């Protein structure tokens, strides 16, 4: 779907439908819609469809103009719920529902008027960004593996942005941002929903290469032999259990002049299928474990967005990618691994493989880049789902300020993060008789224990946060801008963190 400005006076606007947002139980319509009702849309006041319309969240009314009205024959009203419970999610989801309705009705060229945002408790550029994101992301479907296209519906061709004057910079930029981040989210979703026989580590490497080509990123793909010779004994132990070639993918965006800046480093868990390994999982819903590379997918998605917008900051992505399988060479419970950091790990469960691959990536990032900050993102623990459910991800780390900026950026964009503590006494659970640490404790505080394990690999002076997206990477129900399946959760937050990254380029060290 193309997004196109249409600059003209209201009388000259043309589209197949115009979308307006409405608050529930409001005394009067929002200002922009009210003016439309008083002018060009005066035919609407008698419209029967309006009588039943209550403007509950995502409720819609499609109103058809009398036949003389040729320029804009339909008005689609979509509910935002009550004004006092408004948050940006409501607008994003309302836009998603309106655009899906357009797809259903074969409306080829719908439009949103910039005046439609007047009176919302959100700045217009933010409102435009949310509604465009919702419009595009809500239409997204992964159809690549379907050969019978019986349900093929065509998405609208062009979404017009109606305005009476040229958009100012923040409005023009909002379009750019929304297109960039929705591109990133759709890439992450497509990769995550892809089965493990498609989205292999090699496929992720190829995807990263294509991004590098498109946006002039640097790229390096480390294979298993090189990882072994570099001393990444933890990553290698997991990778050896699979016949599918494993890779550590390193992608770098360093626009001219930033090459020597301390980079922001994103690390994404890239387990393309998690069988549990020798500590084999039960067969129930095992197919869901194709999603265990959602962290790596969000990092690639964030890079798509960063490249597309041409961010002027240095950002590095590190993606340890492998399957976790029970092959003859698979690592086994009781094995002791030597990690890149030099610390040794006693494997208790081969199903706690995420932390085992991430610890080498984290230690490598710290040693190689002197990063401004490290953010890792991973479908790490089932315990995180028990703690926070499917709509909230966990944020853990060693730096309060960085954790707060993740929480805030996520909140602003409808990706919710909530903190869990990482006090050092939690490490008790990981004490080992034979090595520096075990890879799992008992069942208590599982999401925290995953974090405390990773913390052992972060030098004190490096600001670091760990994002556990085990609950949020996937959804079984359609909801607004997030159709069922892979969500692409984390892409927008990573992208936003990179955009808001303080000019000082470092977060204060708290501990
Ligand atoms: N990939 C899983 C975690 C997961 C579970 C992600 C459900 C998405 C949905 C991870 O590798 C895992 O198996 N974790 C174990 C850890 C345990 C062995 C300490 C878990 O959560 O059971
Ligand atoms: Mn596992
Ligand atoms: Zn896993």
pLDDT digits (tens, 9 = 90+) for 20-33: 999 999 999 999 99
Q: Is the CB of 468 under 6 A from ligand 1?
A: no
Q: Minimum mean pLDDT among 166-170, 261-265, 426-430, 502-506: which range?
A: 502-506
Q: 474 pairs with which residues across the strands?
A: 486
Q: Is the CB of 295 under 6 A from ligand 1?
A: no
Q: Do 449 and 430 form a contact (C-beta atoms < 8 A)?
A: yes
Percentage of the chain exceeding pLDDT 70: 98
CA of 337 to the centre of ligand 1 (A): 20
Active site residue 355: yes
Q: Is the CB of 446 under 6 A from ligand 1?
A: yes
CA of 321 to the centre of ligand 2 (A): 13
Alpha-carbon gap, residue 381 to 388, rounded angstroms: 11
pLDDT of residue 511: 40
CA of 263 to the centre of ligand 3 (A): 27
Q: Minimum mean pLDDT among 134-138, 481-485, 506-510: which range?
A: 506-510
Whether the per-residue pLDDT at 505 is higher than 60: the answer is: no
- Ligand sitting nearest the alpha carbon of 276: 2
Cα dihedral 392, 397, 401, 405 sign: negative
Reading phi first (left if > 0) and then psi (alpha if -120 to 50, else beta), residue 132 is in alpha
Q: 344 pairs with which residues across the strands?
A: 338
**Choice between 143 and 507, residue whose per-residue pLDDT is larger:** 143
b/e 320-349 (16+ beta carbons within 10 angstroms → b): bbbbbbbeeebbeeebbbbbbbebbbbbbe
pLDDT of residue 46: 79
Tell me the domains of the chain and their CATH numbers. 2-164 (3.40.220.10), 178-500 (3.40.630.10)
Please tell me which residue in 34, 141, 198, 281 is annotated as part of the active site: 281
- Residue 153 — pLDDT band, cuts 50, 70, 90? confident
pLDDT of residue 102: 98
DSSP-derived letter for residue 479 is B
Active site residue 281: yes
pTM for this model (two decimals): 0.97
Alpha-carbon gap, residue 359 to 223, rounded angstroms: 17
* Mean pLDDT on 362-382: 98
Q: Do 237 and 278 form a contact (C-beta atoms < 8 A)?
A: no
Instruction: Identify the residue whose C-alpha is closest to ligand 1 atom 22.
Output: 382
* Mean pLDDT on 376-387: 98
Whether the per-residue pLDDT at 469 is higher than 90: the answer is: yes
- Residue 387 — pLDDT band, cuts 50, 70, 90? very high
Which of 291, 381, 388, 469 gets mutated to test ligand 1 (max ligand atoms within 8 A of its CB)? 381
Percentage of the chain exceeding pLDDT 90: 94
Whether the per-residue pLDDT at 470 is higher than 50: the answer is: yes
Instruction: Identify the residue whose C-alpha is closest to ligand 1 atom 16.
Output: 352
Which of 290, 293, 382 gets mutated to test ligand 1 (max ligand atoms within 8 A of its CB)? 382
pLDDT of residue 49: 81
- Residue 136 — pLDDT band, cuts 50, 70, 90? very high
Cα–Cα distances (Å) from 444 to 100, 223, 347, 385, 430, in that order, read 43, 36, 18, 13, 12
Kindly state the tokens that stand for 488. 């692409």
User: In terms of DSSP bridges, do strands 158-163 and 218-223 run parallel, antiparallel, or are they unpaired?
Assistant: unpaired
Instruction: Identify the residue whose C-alpha is closest to ligand 1 atom 13.
Output: 351
* Mean pLDDT on 66-94: 96
pLDDT of residue 504: 52
pLDDT of residue 151: 63
Kindly state the tokens that stand for 250. 């390193």
- Residue 503 — pLDDT band, cuts 50, 70, 90? low
* Mean pLDDT on 423-430: 98
Please tell me which residue in 355, 407, 438, 455 is annotated as part of the active site: 355
Q: Minimum mean pLDDT among 158-162, 241-245, 496-500, 504-508: which range?
A: 504-508
pLDDT of residue 205: 99
CA of 66 to the centre of ligand 3 (A): 57
Q: Is the CB of 354 under 6 A from ligand 1?
A: yes
pLDDT of residue 148: 86
């Amino acid at each position: 779907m193309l997004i196109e400005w249409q600059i003209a006076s209201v009388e000259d606007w043309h589209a197949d439908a115009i979308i307006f947002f409405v608050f529930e139980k409001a005394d009067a319509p929002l200002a922009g819609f009210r003016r439309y009702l008083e002018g060009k849309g005066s035919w609407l006041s008698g419209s029967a469809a309006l009588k039943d319309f209550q403007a509950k969240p995502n409720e819609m009314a499609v109103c058809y103009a009398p036949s003389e009205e040729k320029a804009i024959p339909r008005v689609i009203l979509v509910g935002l719920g009550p004004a006092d419970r408004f948050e940006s999610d409501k607008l994003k989801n309302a836009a998603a529902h309106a655009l899906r309705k357009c797809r259903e009705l074969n409306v080829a060229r719908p439009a949103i008027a910039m005046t439609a945002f007047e009176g919302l408790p959100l700045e217009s550029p933010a409102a435009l960004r949310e509604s465009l994101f919702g419009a595009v992301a809500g239409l997204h479907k992964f159809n690549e593996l379907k050969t019978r296209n019986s349900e093929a519906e065509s998405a609208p061709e062009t979404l017009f942005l109606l305005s009476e004057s040229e958009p100012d910079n923040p409005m023009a930029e909002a379009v750019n941002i929304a297109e960039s981040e929705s591109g990133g989210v759709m890439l992450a979703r497509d990769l995550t929903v892809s089965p493990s026989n498609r989205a292999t580590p090699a496929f992720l490497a190829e995807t990263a290469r294509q991004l590098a080509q498109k946006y002039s990123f640097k790229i390096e793909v480390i294979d298993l032999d090189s990882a072994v010779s570099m001393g990444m004994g933890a990553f290698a132990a997991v990778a050896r259990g699979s016949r599918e070639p494993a890779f550590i993918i390193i992608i770098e965006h360093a626009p001219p002049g930033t090459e020597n800046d301390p980079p922001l480093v994103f690390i994404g868990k890239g387990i393309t299928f998690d069988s549990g390994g020798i500590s084999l999982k039960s067969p129930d819903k095992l197919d869901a474990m194709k999603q265990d590379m959602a962290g790596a997918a969000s990092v690639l998605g964030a890079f798509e967005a960063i490249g597309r917008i041409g961010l002027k900051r240095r950002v590095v992505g590190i993606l340890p990618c492998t399957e976790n399988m029970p092959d003859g060479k698979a690592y086994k419970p009781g094995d002791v691994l030597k990690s890149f950091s030099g610390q040794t790990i006693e494997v208790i469960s081969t199903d706690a493989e995420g932390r085992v691959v991430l610890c080498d990536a984290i230690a490598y990032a710290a040693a190689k880049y002197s990063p401004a900050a490290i953010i890792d993102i991973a479908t790490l623990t089932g315990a995180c789902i028990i703690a926070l459910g499917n709509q909230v991800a966990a944020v853990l780390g060693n730096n309060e300020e960085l954790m707060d900026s993740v929480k805030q950026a996520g909140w602003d964009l409808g990706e919710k993060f909530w903190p869990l503590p990482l006090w050092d006494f939690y490490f008790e659970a990981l004490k080992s008789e034979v090595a520096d640490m075990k890879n799992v404790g008992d069942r208590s505080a599982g999401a925290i224990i995953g974090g405390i394990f990773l913390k052992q690999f972060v030098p004190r002076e490096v600001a670091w946060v760990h994002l556990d997206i085990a609950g949020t990477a996937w959804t079984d129900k359609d909801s607004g801008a997030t159709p069922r399946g892979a969500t692409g959760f984390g892409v927008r937050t990573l992208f936003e963190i990179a955009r808001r990254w303080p000019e000082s380029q470092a977060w204060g060290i708290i501990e």
